[in-house]
Each structure stands twice: as C-alpha cells, then as structure tokens.
Structure 1
Amino acid sequence: MDTQSVITRTITVSGGRFAPGHLGELTQHLPFEMVDEALTATRTTQSRLRDLPSRVVVYLLLAACLFPEIGYPGVWRKLTASLTGLPLVIPTTSGLAQARRRIGVAPLRWLFDLLRGPAATVGQRGTWWRGLLVCAIDGTTLTVPDNPRMLARFTKHRGNHGGTGYPQIRLVALLACGTRTLIDAVFGPTTTGETTYTPHLLRSLRPGMILLADRNFGAKDLITEIADTGADVLVRLKNGRKMPVLARYPDGSYLSMLGRLLVRVVECEITISTTAGRHTGVYRLATTLTDHQHYPAAELITLYHHRWEIETAYLELKSSILGGRVLRARTPAGAEQEIYALLVTYHLLRTAMADATNTQPDIDPDRASFTIAYQAARDQLIQAANVIADTVIDLVGTIGRHILANLLPARRLRVCPRIVKRAISKYQARGPNIDRTSYKATVGVDILTPADP
C-alpha cells in the first residue's frame, strides 16, 4: 500500500492588511514596532486604514532592494507568495506608486539614522586594531533614469565616448571595516565633490576610531576637521607634496606638519611580484598617531590595506544587489527614498552577517559571503519565514547558518588588471592582446627615509 507524508509549516506574520508587511527573517532586525515608530516620528502613519498601510509600504520598499530585477508588483507577489489563505489585496501599479509617494522619504531616512553604526563585535580581526575601531571613507556614484525631472537636479558625467549617458548621484559613506556595516552616509548631485560631502559625516566620528582615506581626502583643512572630532586618521598623501621633517623615529617614520596639524609620516615602496613580473609603487601615509612605539610604521602600512573594504562594499551594493542596474525611481524624491531603502537593506544584511561570525570570534568577518547572505534573505522573504522571533532569540538564524556553512576560504593576495572584462560595446577598444589573467602575488615593503629638505 502506498503511503503519503504531509509536511505542514506554520507561518506567523502580522494580521489582516498588515500581513504583507515583512522582510522575512530580516524582520527580526527591523521589527514592526521600529517601523511604526519611524512612521509616528515622521507623521507618515496613514490617517485611515487603507489596503496598503504605511508600515506595509515601508517593508515593500526594503523588499524591493532584495529584488531589483523586478517591478514593485513583482515584489508584492514575493511578499505574499506564502501567505495563502489570507484575504489579501492585489494592488495596481498606480496604487503602489501612490502609496510610495504618500510616505515619502522621511521614514526611510529616520530608519537609516536609527540603525546605522558599527556592529557589535568581540575583537574580531580586521574590525579593531590596537584598541581602535577601523573605519574607511570613500565615494561612489549611483545611476538614475535619464528623464527631464532627474536632469533638473542630477547631471551626466562628461567623458570619452559621450560620457555616462545617464544622470548620476554621488554617495559618500563611512564604513566599519571587518563587518562592513554602515556608520553614516550622505548623497547628492555629482556637481559636489566627495570632500565637500565629507563634513556631513563628521557627526559620526569619535575618539577610539581610526579613519582610513585615500589621496582625495588628503586636504589639510579636511584632515584637521576630522582630527578635531577626536578620531585618528591614516590617509595617503600625494608623493610630490612637500612635508617638513621635524623629527625622525627608529621605525623609519618622521614627524611633520599638515597645515596646523601635527602628523607622523611613513613613506614606503611596495613591490608586488607575480610570475608575470613585478610592479613597484611608492606610498606616503600620514597619521595623527604620533607614538611610534605603540603604533609601528610597518603595521600602519598593513592597516592601510583595509581601506579597500569600502570598495568591496560598493561592489556589493552596485553589482551583487543592483546588478549594475539603473535605480527604479523616476523622480529625485523617489531616488532619495530608494537610496535610503538600499542603505537600510544593505546594513540589515551586514548586521545579520556580523551576528553570525560574532558567534565564532576566531573567524575573520571577511570569510562571510555577502552573496550567500543576500540569496538566503531573498529565500526567507519569499517563504515569509522567521518573521517574528521566538521567545528564545536565535542570534544566528537561518541566514547565519547558511553563512557559517559556506564560509569563504582565507583570502590570498591576487592581482588582476582593472579593465572591463565584458564591455557593452562589441568592439575591443583596448585591443585583443590584453593579459586578463589573475595572478597569485607576493608583496614586499621597504620603508623609505627621505632626505631632509
């Protein structure tokens, strides 16, 4: 006789018209009460109960960041896929658009300001260095639709082959290295440069941090403003800049002045060797950490390499999540709403990843796969799984278990030319004889001792 087995699954979500308002397991990091508080604080709670309550619309905007390849009606289907048997509405495209306009930007901005900040860690490697929280700052651009309303505020980049083709928004972020959680961010038209946006981020710097920055942020006034917050700085300077030698230290560094700010300078020659040859570059680093015994020059050079983590974070935002796509929004206000939703969603994913690796402090957070976390979060949303936390809090969760079961191998140094591997054009603008191989590499560092001026 044939036997049949029946598997049942209980889904616990909010009731009635609020049921589609969730983010799968990530809802535990952004519970209903938090979203309701954001709506109350920004006075965007619906005045009467609608088919699309404001709380549901907030979760819809965040869920859309997990599914950038489909429109909002498709995202709605993902949110309601497992809510069978419930009397759910099927909103029209125009209804979803009206609901997004109704709540505006304010609640998403409020949530970002509430959630942003370094994740709690237990002294994990790459997160702290000699008692200082390692942070990085840098900028990038996001692309928006090409229409008159966008062009009234945002501009296209000029350049070869006609420029970018689409208007762009500049985003400057302050990031906690290791966990890559967002400490703060600011964005706006690209007509304003990265260093002009940076003062808006100074509110989030404090003593006990060390900020890593590239040459673009090496202006003396800006570095002085950052140092005035109490945070320390490790910034690369242009090699041709004249720096007075006030005192020399045994580790090869020397004391100097950057405007009115006393700094310590480390100059080094870094050689990358592969089977294809060697490449050498000269770096000049300046830091407010003037104690050469407690903060050795060789360790500062190694520490500066962590600045690239913010580049990886931007890759995760623009490639892993957006897939190189133009933002959905058709208006400047809609773009601002969408970017805040994107920042909140990215931060929630990174928080879930930090919680998972934090249970095993010997694991470097770099070994957590963002792609695994992203795909697991998508699956949990479609299943409406783990929306409401049990009485016993599971710090790892399903997303975390996927992360820990699929850790990346320890990172090895590899180099590859920074060129487009698959260009939009069918023509090979740089020629067919470009070596695109990724090579294993070794690094040699020599600290240089400049002559007295």
Structure 2
Amino acid sequence: MPDLASDLSFVSAPGVFAPGHLGELTQVVPFEMIDEVLTDQGGGEQRVRRLPSRVVVYLLLAGGLFEHLGWAQVWARLTASLSGSHPVPAGASLTEAMRRVGIGPVKALFDVLKGSAATTARQSAWFAGRLLVAIDGTQIAVPDSAANLVAFPKPVAGPNGPVGYPMLRLVAVVACGTRTVIEAVFGTDKVGELTYAARLTATGALHAGMLLLADRNFATYAFLAQVAATGSDLLVRAKTGGNAMKLPATRHLADGSFLTRAGQVTIRVIDAQVTATTADGVVQAGTYRLLTTLLDPHEAPALALVRLYHQRWEIETSYAELKSTMLGGRVLRARHPAAVVQETWALLAGYQALRTAMADAVLARPDVDPDRASFTIALNTARDQVIRAAGIITDTVIDLVGPIGTAVLDALLPPPRPRIRARIIKRAISKYQARNRHADRRS
C-alpha cells in the first residue's frame, strides 16, 4: 500500500486508494490505523483491488456520517472533490467488498478508538478523584428482512399493535464529560440490559478510579457485586416500591445516609426528596433513593451525590446524538445480520472519531465545558470536510483544533440548565400512520 509518510504533496491517497478517507477525521483515523487493523484481523491484501479493503472501511465509517444516504451516494461524497475518475461501484460490488472486509477489522477499529478522549481531556467530569462514567441501554431499528428477523426478532406486539422493525439492543459505558464511549456491546433485544451489562463488566471497561452512574434498572444485588469486583465505584438510583431491594440500616451516618449490606457488598443509602420548578412555574417533587459504594460522607457528602446523579443524563444525550442526530431516527441499511453488526460497529467508531475531534478542540479552551460543544455542528462540519476531501493528509505541524474544532468553538452552546423530564407519551407529529417513510432513502 502507498506510503505517504515522507510525501505531503498528496491531498489524499493516490490511485484507487483516493476514495479512502474521512475528510478531517482522517487525522483521527489515519491510513496507518486502518491498515494495521486490517492486517491484524487477516484483512491484508496480496494485490491491489479496484475496491481496496482500506477504502471499504472508510466507506463504512462515512456511512455513519451520512446515514440518510445509500452507499452509492456516500461514495459520491467521498469522491466529489477528488481529481481523476472514481466511478460509483455497482451495488453488488460494494456488498461483496464489505462482506470481504468482514466484522473483525471494524470492531478492532472501534477497540482502538474507544475511550481515546475520555481519560485524557482536562474537561472530563470527575468526582472525588474518580472519572465519571454512565451505563445504560437503548434500541436501534434494523431493516425488516427475513434474515434479520432470525437474529433480531421483533419485540412482542403491544396495545398499539405490532412493532414495525426488528431491534438490536445496545448497552454502553460513556464518559460523562466528553461523552466518548468507553465500551459497548449489542445484540438481539431478546437479551436484557442486565445481561449485556454483565458482559461489559467482564470486558475490563470498568476499573478502579471510576464512578459509574446508573438508573433504577441496574439496582440489583448481582450488578452491584459485578461492579464492585471491577474496583470501580457506583452511584445508582434504586427502586422504592414493593419490589425494592431489602436494605436494613446497619449504621446511620451524620449526613442522614446509612450503611447496609446488599448481598456481599457494603453500600451507603441516601434517601432524598427532590423538587424542581419547571419553566411554567409547576413544582414537581419525587423521592429518590441512591445507592453508592462511596462510604465516607466526608469524601462524598450526601447532598453532593444527589446533585451529581444528574450527570447520568450524559449517556441519554449520547444516545440522542447517535440515534437522532446521526441516524436521524432511521433504521440501519444492512439487510443481513452480519452486515448489521458491521454497520453498527462502524457507526460507533464514527461517533467516537467525531467525539475525539471535539474533545481535542475543547482542550484548547480550558474555560469551556465539553457540554457546550455542539455535536450537530461538529457532524455537519465533518460532512462538509468529507465532501471537500479537506484535511486528509496532516501537515508537519498538527493542529488539534482544525475546521471541526473551530466551528464548534465559534458556536458554543449556552451552559446547560438543570433538566427534568416527566415520563409521558407525547403526541405524535402526525396522526396519520407513516408507511415506508424511509423506503426511498437508499436510492
């Protein structure tokens, strides 16, 4: 494969490798990184193909940035500003090339990128010397094909009728400051969040020096033990109804919290009455029970932990960025299970690359909280850079900010406000049933 390390006259790779880029994000995911994961996963090539594997991996990553487009249109954007002729490959050729690359290199690429900005950015969220991370699950719709239905069966029909699409379940650990992904697992949604969470804790995603935030679904004896075994600390909201965990007090503390045993784990329980006033003046109140393995009230006062728990919303925002901003609420493209897995890892790797570029930009502004960096602006700027084939080859002096970072820093969001969200079903945008509303997006 061409070696550009000593030749900066290129604006992209030469010849058939030219479409293999991600605009400015190529600096986060350089050629050498792609080539290395391909070689490590047995995807190295003995001959130069019309669709080299490196180009196919970049095409998959670009597909995550342009999820509203079919593969031919994604290719058109990768080649829009390149010199020479780069005709759109036939659909069958693209499918075969993606199948040839397989899942392994794309998953390995995500493994290289994951967590890359979580622990290095000065603006990462910390508490009591621990990196704040959050865990939660979400669902992503996949195409309703016969093959996908075998691997991703549709959920059981509810009171409003059958579910439109098969679903995969994704569970991830995300850094609360930079919203970068520490680790992720996914598969059929017939497997529950807690099972996937157990797989996450077994991967080494959690370790000492972390404080994990989680919602009520994760407040189980088994999960508490799994997290404790990793050395990570935990702050989780617990249920308070009839099916709540039995947690009799063994010792009362000065700040109103108390110690107890949850199975084999000693934990601290904080009961709090939380009130909030909405913009229209309505006062809402609720009782929260928080469980934590931070046992010292001097190191972690009860009131500080109650306020800190709001940071758990960072993972909800991450999922909104992934599903609403990148996917636009659409289903994935792939009509076969292996392709679904490949596309999902590519989507996560693309999200991670973009988040890394944003974290690098915020590093240049210590006064700016990463919450103020607009993911939408970063994504749209990254798309523009792909179309322009700009910033692919770095100069001898690396600029951590670049056009993506500049666009983000020039249009910072206002400081985030405390938010509440009632558990209600909002009125649909349209009262008419939407049939095949995504059917024409792949043309």
For 2:291, give the aligned amino acid: A
Is it true that 1:343 corresponds to 2:348 in the alignment? Answer: yes
Alignment of 1:188 onto 2:203:
no
* Distance of aligned partners of 1:227 and 1:99 in 2 relative to their CA distance in 1, 3 Å threshold: same
Who is 1:243 aligned against?
Answer: 247
Which residue in 2 is equivalent to 1:142? 140
**Structure 1: how far apart are the matches of 2:116 and 2:45?**
33
Three-state SS of the structure 2 residue aligned to 1:318 is helix
> How big is the shift at 1:136?
0.2
2:381 match = 376
Structure 2's unaligned 5+ residue stretches are: 1-8, 434-443
Aligned to 1:108: 106
- For the residue of structure 1 that corresponds to 2:16, the secondary structure is helix
Q: Distance in 1 between matches of 2:287 and 2:419?
A: 19
Matches within 5 A, 1:273-312: 273-274=277-278, 275-312=280-317
What CA distance in whole angstroms lies between the structure 2 residues aligned with 1:69 and 1:23? Answer: 17
TM superposition shift of 1:361: 1.6
Compared with structure 1, are the counterparts of its residues 17 and 156 closer, same or farther at alpha carbon in structure 2 (3 Å cutoff)?
A: same
Q: 1:425 aligns with which of 422, 425, 431?
A: 431
Determine if the alignment matches structure 1 residue 395 to structure 2 residue 418. no
Distance 1:367 1:394, change over 3 A: same
Q: Equivalences for 1:315-326 in 2 at 5 Å? A: 315-326=320-331
Matched with 1:449 is none
| Matched letter for residue 183 of structure 1 | I
Q: Which amino acid aligns with 2:408?
A: I
TM superposition shift of 1:142: 0.6
Instruction: Identify which range, 408-417 or 392-401, moves more after superposition.
Output: 408-417
- The answer as to whether partners of 1:122 and 1:361 remain within 8 angstroms in 2 is no
Counterpart contact for 1:51–1:89, Cα < 8 Å: no
Distance change >3 Å, CA 323–CA 218, structure 1 → 2:
same
Partner of 2:372: 367
1:102 maps to a residue whose letter is R
TM-score under structure 2 length normalisation: 0.91
Alignment deviations for residues 317-359 of structure 1 (CA, whole Å, 9 cap, x no partner): 1100001101000000000000000000000111111111111
Tell me how far apart the structure 1 counterparts of residues 232 and 15 of structure 2 sit (CA, whole Å). Answer: 49
Partner Cα separation in structure 1 for residue 43 and residue 76 of structure 2 = 24
Q: Quick one: distance in 2 between partners of 1:198 and 1:188?
A: 12
* Structure 1 contact 121–354 (Cα < 8 Å) conserved: no
Moved more, 161-170 or 104-113: 161-170
Q: Which has the higher Rg, Structure 1 or Structure 2?
A: 1
Q: Tell me the amino acid that sits aligned with residue 364 of structure 1.
A: D
Q: Report what 2:233 is aligned to.
A: 232
Which residue number corresponds to residue 444 of structure 1?
Answer: none
Closer, same or farther: CA 348–105 of 1 in aligned 2, 3 Å? same
Question: Using the alignment, how far apart are the partners of 1:109 and 1:424 within structure 2?
Answer: 38
The 8 Å contact of residues 121 and 360 in structure 2, kept in 1 or not, is answered as no
Percent of aligned pairs sharing the same letter: 52
Does 265-274 or 130-139 show the bigger shift? 265-274
SS at structure 2 position matched to 1:162: coil
CA distance in 2, matches of 1:262, 1:189: 34
User: Take 1:106 and 1:122, find their aligned partners in 2: how far apart are those partners?
Assistant: 29
2:270 equivalent to 1:266: yes
Superposition RMSD on alpha carbons, in Å? 1.5
Q: Partner letter of residue 171 of structure 1? A: L
TM-score with structure 1 length normalisation?
A: 0.89
Aligned to 1:451: none
| Partner-residue secondary structure (3-state), 1:200 | helix
Counterpart of 1:434 in structure 2 is: none
Counterpart contact for 2:121–2:359, Cα < 8 Å: no
Letter in 2 for 1:35: I
Q: Which residue of 2 aligns with 1:78?
A: 77
SS of equivalent to 1:204: coil
Stretch deviating more after TM superposition (235-244 or 65-74): 235-244
Mapped partners of 1:414, 1:194: distance in 2:
25
- Separation of aligned partners in 2, 1:118 and 1:135: 14
**Partner Cα separation in structure 1 for residue 418 and residue 33 of structure 2:** 42
Change (3 A) 1:376 1:174: same
Q: Tell me how far 1:385 sits from its aligned partner.
A: 0.3
Q: Is the 8 A contact 2:258 2:269 kept in 1?
A: yes
Displacement after TM superposition at 1:88 (Å): 2.7
- Whether the aligned pair in 2 keeps the contact of 1:176 and 1:182 (CA below 8 Å) is yes
Counterparts of 2:90 and 2:274 in 1: how far apart (Å)?
Answer: 58
**In structure 1, what residue type is equivalent to 2:77?**
K
Q: Which moved more, 1:26-35 or 1:243-252?
A: 243-252
| Map of 1:446 onto structure 2 | none
Unaligned runs of 5+ in 1: 1-9, 428-453
Tell me the SS of whatever aligns to 2:160.
helix
How far does residue 163 in structure 1 lie from its aligned partner after superposition? 3.4
Q: Distance in 2 between matches of 1:23 and 1:161?
A: 42
Query: Corresponding residue for 2:437?
Result: none
CA distance in 2, matches of 1:109, 1:35: 11
1:84-233 equivalences under 5 Å are 84=83, 86-117=84-115, 119=117, 120-124=119-123, 127-158=125-156, 159-202=158-201, 203-233=204-234
Match of 1:57 in 2: 56
Deviation at 1:419, TM superposition (A): 3.5
How many angstroms apart in 2 are the aligned matches of 1:407 and 1:298?
30
| Counterpart for residue 437 of structure 1 | none
CA contact (8 A) 2:125 2:132 kept: yes
The AA in structure 1 aligned to 2:417 is: R
Rounded Cα–Cα distance in structure 1 between residues aligned with 2:121 and 2:404: 20
Measure, in 2, the Cα distance between the counterparts of 1:276 and 1:421.
Answer: 22
Q: Whole-Å Cα distance in 2 between the matches of residues 374 and 258 of structure 1? A: 43
